[in-house]
Amino acid sequence: MSDAKAPAPTQGLTDSEIAPLQARYGRNEIVHDTRFRGLRILVRQFTSVLVVVLIVAMAAAFAMGEIVDAAAIGIVVVMNALLGFAQEWRTDNAIKSLRRMLSPTAHVIRGGQEKSIPATELVPGDLVLIEQGSRIPADMTLIEHAGLQVDESALSGESDHVDKTAGLGEPNLFMGTTVTTGRGKAIVTAIGALTKFGQIAGLTSTISERPTVLQIQMARLAMQIAILAVVIAGATVAIGYFTGRDLFVMVMTGLSLAVSLVPEGLPVVLTISLTLGATAMARQKALVRQLQAVETLGAATVICTDKTGTLTENRMTAVRIWTLGAEYQVTGTGSDPAGHITRNGRKCRAADDPELANLLETALLCNNARLEQAQNTWAMFGSPTEGALVTLAYKGWATLPTPERLVAENPFSSERKRMSMLVRTDDSFALHAKGAPEHILSVCNSAVIDQKTYPLDDELRSKIMASYHQMAENGLRVIGLAARAAQDGDTEERDMIFQGLVGLIDPPRPEVGAAIQACRAAGIQVIMITGDGPTTARAIAQQLGLPARIALTGAELEDMTDADLTEVLGRDVLFARTTPAHKLRIVTALQARGETVAMTGDGVNDAPALKRADIGIAMGQRGTDVARDSSDLVLLDDNFATIVGAIAQGRRQFENISKFARYLLSSNAGEAVALFGAILMGLPLIFLPSQILWINLVTDGISAVALGLEKAEPGQMQDPPRGRNATILGRTGLWMILLLGAYTGGASIWIFQSLLAEGEIIARTTTFTALVIFELAAVFAFRSFRVPCTSLGWLSNRYLFLAVLLGLGTQLAAIYWPPLQLLLRTQPIGWEHWQLVGLFTLPLIIVPELIKAILASRARSGKAAPAA
Ligand code: ATP
């Protein structure tokens, strides 16, 4: 415990002082060097294997005097770079704006008023309130403190917790460090680049841009395919050359093959899709700090959630008081002290009831919350539990007691589950304590009944516990209160006199019941892990429809072996009276069972569990900076229902990625089958490299992005979570790729061969057009792997519809617009050619629809599960 120091400037800066300081010192931020950002993004576009392959192709075509081909490839390279650039620029901006939403705030006192401001607006001289879990927003001198410890590892690299006492004008709190325990007030001495942190480091960003597992897998896949493509293409050229075929034709064939095999659009489409997913989640108040979270969320099998504030509203109101001599009811709601306390149906004032007066005094004095009246409303500053107790004290008081002074504080922590304050009135001292009833009883040795003090024997203890359980059974959060006379410096929590219990109501959030049912339907287990007592936890679980046959306390958990814990986690269980360390053990045990765990947390000590969980979820309102920094997802509204919404988004996202990956690869398969088939059959080159690039980047690229915007399929939240090792393509996907590839490739060869008599260019143009149309038609088959488009609605994804129209338009331009004709070596095709194309396109629409309709009707009649 540390002493709270002499009064310091309490009013803070005034508005007239702030403006000149802001003008002089600027904003409290460390500015990144963004001068070459554009150039850096542009250069990145030319570093992929694909571009290297294309540049080699361009050089080869150029060397052979095929200027038009070289130019066509060159244009594609530039277009690809520009497209990639535009997309990356947008992604960058989207991530930036998400990051801005996460930027920290600072609690300051300005002009005597406490307020929250963006940390970037701090100026030297500002009076800042700091508390457990907050990140120090600037360099500061501490002037008032209670048990303050700071983790300076961000600066020193060592994770020691440093005790902090008042600094003598010199800064002793540094930007970027975090408060592990205690509270304090400090004056800002330096901001932005002038801070110690600003001078030594490039600020760590709040959103990681680490690529996700999927992105890495995808990039690896693209790279492997690219290498394979180069090898196959090289071999084809070599074999062709040595068997006496024309070198130019063989080089072009090799290039076409290489280009056809590489899924050029895949990595870019994946990044766009993940970013769009993150933006959609942000709109639903779930901020993704790591793109990875978007894909992991969809696989979550267990959600471990706090109770207070996540499942409940965290709007506490005291409704009952119990002492060994009497019982009281309390009326009124919220922070408005307009209600009153009744005993046996009659209004009751502290002035007429000394025991009630003592209890209310502890409630008010052992407290860091404040009520303030502005016009006709009351505002509460501080934790809701404490605020409810201040409001309660106001309701019972005729006149407030003479000002008393806080001398020292043993702060509350989730581990201790109680707190105490040493208070001085005139020349006497008293130690007031409050906390979880059993944690208060453990430091009491007497109790007052009818103004007489009795030793706290077993009988009285069991009476108190019985009353505690009775309140808890009604879902009330119960706080025990105690006090004793003390001396200056006498802060040990011992020999306290028990005063009574207060029951607080904290209503469940109305939307949570439905969200829990949605989780059950989706095969996701929900486990409540709370610091509150087991009886209260159970009552709230029941009110929410959360099955919890077993309620284990933190102490019971500690006595369990890992094997027992693993076993019990498979049943309907909740955990109460836990500390943050228990959360870590629970996550670890769940992961050992093979679960994918989402875990919520708000306190500084929750950080290890949040990091350990597959998806760490921090609270945007209640949470500390430390918890937020350790999380993957931040809930802006602290609401459990938001997690479930985010999981639904995650599932949709994964499915959509799987859809466009299958789509793009099936298109590559079609091109490769056609090219190989044509070579084997001794036909001329079926597609030119530039035509294949056109298909992969222009027509398919646009429709793949649109496929990524597909809405959630009906029933998506009725399926069990996907397995941990589920691959993006899956077995069904591989079959789809092979079958579609075989069909579109085969059909292309047939068309090409049958039109060759009309001339190679006409045959090639028609086949090229056919493949584009095939892909545009086939995209509808990938919209869902089980629901036919007739049920989804053909136009329900209007982006896809527009993308298909756009693809069709660009293809018409490719064959009828002279500049593109020159570039892609096409000729206008006639009506009869279109008929041929149309004929081969029809099965691509009809067959998948038929298969899905049959599967769906079989699933409905219970004969088989629909294919996933
Ligand atoms: P959750 O983990 O679901 O958010 P919680 O907020 O109840 O639950 P803690 O903050 O660890 O968890 O609180 C545990 C217990 O400590 C509470 O049930 C209450 O009895 C007591 N308590 C909470 N806040 C205070 C406080 N400010 N002063 C004294 N006791 C408190």
What is the residue-wise DSSP string for 452-476? EEEE--HHHHHHHHHHHHHHHHTT-
CA atoms within 13 A on the CB side of 289: 23
Is 308 near ligand 1, meaning CB less than 6 Å away? yes
Per-residue pLDDT tens digits for 210-252: 456 666 667 677 777 778 778 888 887 887 788 777 777 777 7
CATH code where residue 399 lies: 3.40.1110.10
Per-residue pLDDT tens digits for 69-86: 778 778 777 877 777 777
Q: Give the position, in ligand 1's atom list, of the atom nearest the Cα of 479.
A: 20
- If you average pLDDT over residues 434-457, what whole number do you get? 94
Higher pLDDT among residues 48 and 502, named by residue:
502
For residue 93, the Cα-to-chain-centroid distance in whole angstroms is: 18
Question: Are 302 and 412 in a shared domain?
Answer: no
Residue 454, pLDDT above cutoff 70: yes
**Among 655, 313, 341, residue whose Cα is nearest residue 510:** 313
Residue 403, pLDDT above cutoff 80: no
| Residue 374 lies inside a defined structural domain of this protein | yes
Is 675 near ligand 1, meaning CB less than 6 Å away? no
Higher pLDDT among residues 829 and 372, named by residue:
829
- If you average pLDDT over residues 16-43, what whole number do you get? 77
Question: Are 825 and 853 in a shared domain?
Answer: yes
| Residue 214 lies inside a defined structural domain of this protein | no
Residue 433, pLDDT above cutoff 90: yes
What integer pLDDT is reported at residue 431 of this predicted model? 95
- If you average pLDDT over residues 792-805, what whole number do you get? 88
Domain that residue 52 falls in: 1-209
Alpha carbon distance 688, 310 (integer Å): 59
The catalytic site residues sit at: 306
What integer pLDDT is reported at residue 86 of this predicted model? 75
For atom 12 of ligand 1, the residue with the nearest CA is 531
Question: Are 501 and 512 in a shared domain?
Answer: no
**Amino acid identity of 494?**
R
Is 661 near ligand 1, meaning CB less than 6 Å away? no
Alpha carbon distance 14, 520 (integer Å): 54
Question: Are 298 and 330 in a shared domain?
Answer: no
Q: Of 585-589, 679-683, 739-743, 808-812, where does mean pLDDT reach its minimum?
A: 679-683
For atom 9 of ligand 1, the residue with the nearest CA is 531
What integer pLDDT is reported at residue 87 of this predicted model? 67
H, E, C per residue of 247-274: HHHHHHHHHHHHHHHCCCCHHHHHHHHH
Distance 411 CA to ligand 1 centre (A): 12
User: How many residues are listed for the chain in this entry?
Assistant: 868
Alpha carbon distance 449, 451 (integer Å): 5
| Residue 647 lies inside a defined structural domain of this protein | no
Q: How confident is the model at residue 48 (pLDDT cuts 50, 70, 90)?
A: low
Distance 383 CA to ligand 1 centre (A): 10
Per-residue pLDDT tens digits for 456-490: 999 999 999 999 999 999 999 999 999 999 988 88
Distance 764 CA to ligand 1 centre (A): 74
Distance 61 CA to ligand 1 centre (A): 73
For atom 27 of ligand 1, the residue with the nearest CA is 386
Residue 201, pLDDT above cutoff 50: no
Pairing between β-strand 286-288 and β-strand 633-635 as defined by DSSP bridges: antiparallel
Per DSSP, 504 falls in state E
Is 314 near ligand 1, meaning CB less than 6 Å away? no
Higher pLDDT among residues 745 and 203, named by residue:
745
Number of structural domains (the chain) is 4
At residue 863, φ and ψ (nearest 5 deg) are -75, -35
Is 312 near ligand 1, meaning CB less than 6 Å away? no
Q: How confident is the model at residue 205 (pLDDT cuts 50, 70, 90)?
A: very low
Pick the last residue of a domain from 180, 209, 238.
209
- If you average pLDDT over residues 294-321, what whole number do you get? 90
Alpha carbon distance 661, 222 (integer Å): 11
**Among 464, 594, 574, 462, residue whose Cα is nearest residue 529:** 574
Alpha carbon distance 693, 25 (integer Å): 53
Is 419 near ligand 1, meaning CB less than 6 Å away? yes
Q: How confident is the model at residue 202 (pLDDT cuts 50, 70, 90)?
A: very low
| Residue 441 lies inside a defined structural domain of this protein | yes
Residue 577 Rama label (left phi>0; alpha psi -120 to 50; beta): left
Q: Which two tokens stand for residue 732?
A: 């069904």
Is 418 near ligand 1, meaning CB less than 6 Å away? yes
What integer pLDDT is reported at residue 167 of this predicted model? 66
Pocket test of ligand 1: the residue of 479, 502, 526, 540 to mutate, having most ligand atoms within 8 Å of its CB, is 479
Helix (H, G, I), strand (E, B) or coil at 406: strand
Q: How confident is the model at residue 283 (pLDDT cuts 50, 70, 90)?
A: confident
Question: Are 308 and 322 in a shared domain?
Answer: no
Question: Are 493 and 512 in a shared domain?
Answer: no
Question: Are 662 and 806 in a shared domain?
Answer: yes
As a whole-number percent, the residues of the chain with pLDDT over 70 amount to 89
Question: Are 458 and 512 in a shared domain?
Answer: no
As a whole-number percent, the residues of the chain with pLDDT over 90 amount to 35
Per-residue pLDDT tens digits for 643-652: 998 999 888 8
| Residue 645 lies inside a defined structural domain of this protein | no
Residue 404, pLDDT above cutoff 70: no
Is 392 near ligand 1, meaning CB less than 6 Å away? no
What integer pLDDT is reported at residue 232 of this predicted model? 80
Alpha carbon distance 483, 430 (integer Å): 7
What integer pLDDT is reported at residue 4 of this predicted model? 40
Alpha carbon distance 815, 768 (integer Å): 10
Q: Give the position, in ligand 1's atom list, of the atom nearest the Cα of 413.
A: 11
Question: Are 690 and 828 in a shared domain?
Answer: yes
For atom 22 of ligand 1, the residue with the nearest CA is 435
Long-range contacts of 850-859 (CB under 8 A, 24+ apart): 852/784, 852/785, 852/786, 852/787, 852/788, 853/788, 853/790, 855/786, 856/786, 856/787, 856/788, 856/791, 859/786
Distance 351 CA to ligand 1 centre (A): 30
Question: Are 64 and 196 in a shared domain?
Answer: yes
| Residue 77 lies inside a defined structural domain of this protein | yes
Pick the last residue of a domain from 638, 670, 697.
638
**Among 544, 829, 605, residue whose Cα is nearest residue 151:** 605
Distance 529 CA to ligand 1 centre (A): 12
Q: Can you give the C-alpha Rg of the chain in angstroms?
A: 34
Question: Are 673 and 806 in a shared domain?
Answer: yes
Is 385 near ligand 1, meaning CB less than 6 Å away? yes
| Residue 609 lies inside a defined structural domain of this protein | yes
Alpha carbon distance 357, 36 (integer Å): 67
Per-residue pLDDT tens digits for 748-796: 999 999 999 999 999 999 999 999 999 999 999 898 877 888 877 888 8
Show the CA angle centred on residue 392, arms to residues 636 and 440, nearest 5°. Answer: 85
Helix (H, G, I), strand (E, B) or coil at 211: coil
**Among 394, 406, 455, 398, residue whose Cα is nearest residue 430:** 406
CATH code where residue 848 lies: 1.20.1110.10
Residue 5, pLDDT above cutoff 60: no
Q: Of 97-101, 193-197, 335-339, 773-777, where does mean pLDDT reach its minimum?
A: 97-101
Is 532 near ligand 1, meaning CB less than 6 Å away? yes
**Among 355, 342, 434, 447, residue whose Cα is nearest residue 390:** 434
Question: Are 597 and 704 in a shared domain?
Answer: no
Alpha carbon distance 435, 855 (integer Å): 59
Distance 414 CA to ligand 1 centre (A): 7
CB 630 within 8 A of CB 616: yes
Per-residue pLDDT tens digits for 597-646: 999 988 777 888 888 898 999 888 877 777 887 888 888 888 899 999 89
Instruction: Give exposure, 588-615, as e/b (b: 16+ Cβ within 10 Å).
Output: ebbbeeebbbbbbbbbbbbbbbbbbbbb
CATH code where residue 158 lies: 2.70.150.10
Alpha carbon distance 227, 222 (integer Å): 9
Q: How confident is the model at residue 866 (pLDDT cuts 50, 70, 90)?
A: very low
| Residue 867 lies inside a defined structural domain of this protein | no
Residue 867, pLDDT above cutoff 70: no
Pick the last residue of a domain from 479, 505, 531.
505
Long-range contacts of 855-862 (CB under 8 A, 24+ apart): 855/786, 856/786, 856/787, 856/788, 856/791, 859/786
Alpha carbon distance 293, 297 (integer Å): 6
